[in-house]
């Protein structure tokens, strides 16, 4: 049926410049949101630079260092003994369905214009799978992030954490599953002055399944969260606190998802049990609702409505009834 149209795209998928820009006209397949439309210019990664294929840790580290534009294709599994730092103007793209990162995760620090695509990043024990710190224009697209939820919230850290005044980021078409703390935006109430007015992040067409908290959790910034599928997001999916603003639209919540959206400042004990058993109190955040969401059986607690009523860019909104099949079909690795 309609989805067979993708077969037409398949022969093109090795050649990046020829990638389709839209999935059946129902969603953007190209960079969309804050990573595309922002005051610094669109995120292009290593476009225009040389292409290098790497299959060892040493070659990877050499290839991603520095600011020179480069497209770094990752072949097979890389087990990092420490966290590589991705420099500016880089596209880091997994080859096929088997490119993966284990051991230590990736740092994007003091950088601009970085694309991370088609990588499975799993069981990272040293820190987050990806930490974006003091960096701008980052597109995290079509990756898979997973570990094991049975060991509690503090066994593993975040999947994609965005901190220290980072800005103009899009997180799209990722498959986040079997992990507790997903995506924290602004990781410390003490960094209010650094973070405030930054942390503009677009989350769209991500598939979250069997996760605990932070889908995402934001402080001090603005996140546009649309057309994501949440299945069994156990404790709290979207959390906006400490004067953060979210615009939430066209998302679908299913299964054992307890709380879809909250702006209540309490950091629930299921999120950070290492502080107080009763949870930590912060200031409330703000939330606005755009196109209709399907909350399933999950609760919504909006304590303050903000002024983030409309995204400052054009974007393709998928009809609500098609969000679940389209996200299941398109999210994760081996799709581009
Ligand atoms: C690469 O990134 C740096 C910022 O670190 C920027 O100033 C520079 O213009 C970029 N280089 C190219 C060739 O795009
Ligand atoms: C980021 O930049 C700051 C300020 O220039 C510097 O102190 C820090 O070491 C840099 N971090 C990394 C990981 O390069
Ligand atoms: C952030 O990164 C920029 C380079 O992009 C650097 O000049 C600045 O010092 C960094 N700030 C911090 C706090 O690391
Ligand atoms: C919703 O927020 C209010 C604070 O405005 C809080 O008293 C209440 O406990 C919250 N509900 C839940 C289910 O967390």
In a domain, 192, yes or no: yes
What pTM was estimated for this model as a whole? Answer: 0.94
% of the chain at pLDDT higher than 90: 88
CA–CA gap between residue 53 and residue 16 (Å, rounded): 14
Please give all residues whose beta carbon lies within 6 A of any atom in ligand 3, as ranges.
Answer: 110, 134
Domains identified in the chain, total number: 1
Give the ligand 2 atom nearest the CA of 85.
13
What's the token pair of residue 151?
A: 């060991």
Rounded to the nearest angstrom, the distance between the alpha carbon of 88 and the centre of ligand 1 is: 7
In a domain, 9, yes or no: yes
Q: What is the pLDDT of residue 277?
A: 65
In a domain, 264, yes or no: yes
Q: What is the pLDDT of residues 148-164, one digit of tens each?
A: 999 999 999 999 999 99
Q: Is the dihedral of CA 106, 252, 321, 168 positive or negative?
A: negative
**Going by CA atoms, what residue is nearest to atom 10 of ligand 2?**
110
Q: Residues for the chain: how many in total?
A: 336
CB 246 within 8 A of CB 285: yes
In a domain, 335, yes or no: no
Rounded to the nearest angstrom, the distance between the alpha carbon of 177 and the centre of ligand 1 is: 34
Q: What is the pLDDT of residues 21-58, one digit of tens each?
A: 888 899 999 999 999 999 999 999 999 999 999 999 99
Q: What is the pLDDT of residues 228-263, one digit of tens each?
A: 999 999 999 999 999 999 999 999 999 999 999 999
Return the best residue to mutate from 70, 113, 115, 134 for the ligand 1 pocket (most ligand atoms within 8 A of CB): 113
In a domain, 61, yes or no: yes
Q: What is the pLDDT of residue 16?
A: 40
**Going by CA atoms, what residue is nearest to atom 11 of ligand 4?**
301
Its domain, for residue 209, covers 2-330
Taking the CA of 88 as reference, the closest ligand is: 1
Q: What is the pLDDT of residues 86-140, one digit of tens each?
A: 999 999 999 999 999 999 999 999 999 999 999 999 999 999 999 999 999 999 9
CB 222 within 8 A of CB 199: yes
Q: What is the pLDDT of residues 194-236, one digit of tens each?
A: 999 999 999 999 999 999 999 999 999 999 999 999 999 999 9
Rounded to the nearest angstrom, the distance between the alpha carbon of 116 and the centre of ligand 2 is: 21
Give the ligand 1 atom nearest the CA of 49.
13
Query: Taking Cα atoms as reference points, which of 69, 45, 44, 74 lies closest to residue 57?
Result: 74
In a domain, 320, yes or no: yes
In a domain, 204, yes or no: yes
In a domain, 336, yes or no: no
CB 261 within 8 A of CB 289: no
Return the best residue to mutate from 40, 108, 112, 134 for the ligand 3 pocket (most ligand atoms within 8 A of CB): 134
Rounded to the nearest angstrom, the distance between the alpha carbon of 65 and the centre of ligand 2 is: 14
The CA–CA distances, whole Å, from 33 to 94, 232, 306 equal: 23, 26, 20
CA–CA gap between residue 262 and residue 259 (Å, rounded): 7
DSSP structure string for 20-56? -SEETTTEE-S--STTTSSTT----TTTTSEEEEE-S
The CA–CA distances, whole Å, from 198 to 140, 169, 245, 268, 283 equal: 18, 10, 11, 24, 18
Q: What is the CATH number of the domain that holds 213?
A: 2.160.20.10
CA–CA gap between residue 202 and residue 250 (Å, rounded): 13
| Residues acting as catalytic residues | 214
**CB burial readout 106-127, b (16+ within 10 A) else e:** bbbbebbbbbbbbbbbbebeeb
């Amino acid at each position: 049926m309609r989805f067979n149209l993708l077969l037409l795209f398949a022969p093109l998928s090795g050649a990046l410049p020829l990638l389709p820009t839209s999935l059946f006209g129902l969603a953007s397949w190209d960079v969309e949101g804050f990573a595309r439309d922002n005051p610094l210019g669109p995120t292009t990664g290593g476009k225009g630079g040389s292409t290098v294929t790497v299959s060892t840790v040493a070659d990877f580290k050499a290839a991603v260092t520095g600011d020179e534009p480069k497209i770094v294709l990752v072949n097979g599994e890389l087990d990092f003994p420490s966290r590589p730092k991705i420099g500016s103007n880089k596209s880091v793209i997994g080859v096929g369905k088997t490119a993966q990162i284990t051991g230590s995760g990736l740092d994007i620090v003091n950088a601009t214009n970085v694309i991370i695509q088609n990588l499975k990043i799993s069981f990272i024990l040293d820190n987050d799978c990806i930490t974006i710190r003091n960096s701008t224009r980052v597109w995290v697209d079509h990756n898979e992030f997973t570990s094991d939820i049975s060991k509690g919230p503090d066994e593993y850290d975040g999947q994609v954490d965005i901190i220290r005044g980072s800005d103009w980021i899009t997180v799209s078409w990722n498959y986040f599953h079997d992990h507790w703390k997903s995506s924290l935006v602004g990781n410390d109430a003490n960094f209010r002055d650094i973070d405030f007015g930054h942390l503009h992040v677009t989350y769209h067409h991500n598939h979250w399944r069997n996760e605990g908290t932070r889908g995402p959790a934001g402080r001090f910034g603005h996140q546009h969260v649309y057309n994501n599928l949440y299945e069994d997001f156990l404790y709290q999916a979207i959390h906006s606190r400490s004067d953060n603003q979210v615009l939430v639209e066209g998302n679908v919540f299913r299964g054992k998802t307890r709380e879809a959206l909250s702006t209540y400042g309490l950091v629930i004990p299921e999120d950070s049990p290492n502080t107080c058993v009763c949870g930590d109190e912060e200031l409330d955040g703000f939330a606005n609702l755009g196109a209709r969401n399907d909350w399933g059986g999950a609760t919504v607690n909006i304590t303050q409505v903000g002024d983030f009523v409309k995204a400052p860019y054009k974007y393709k909104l998928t009809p609500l009834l098609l969000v679940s099949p389209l996200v299941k079909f398109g999210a994760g690795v081996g799709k581009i």
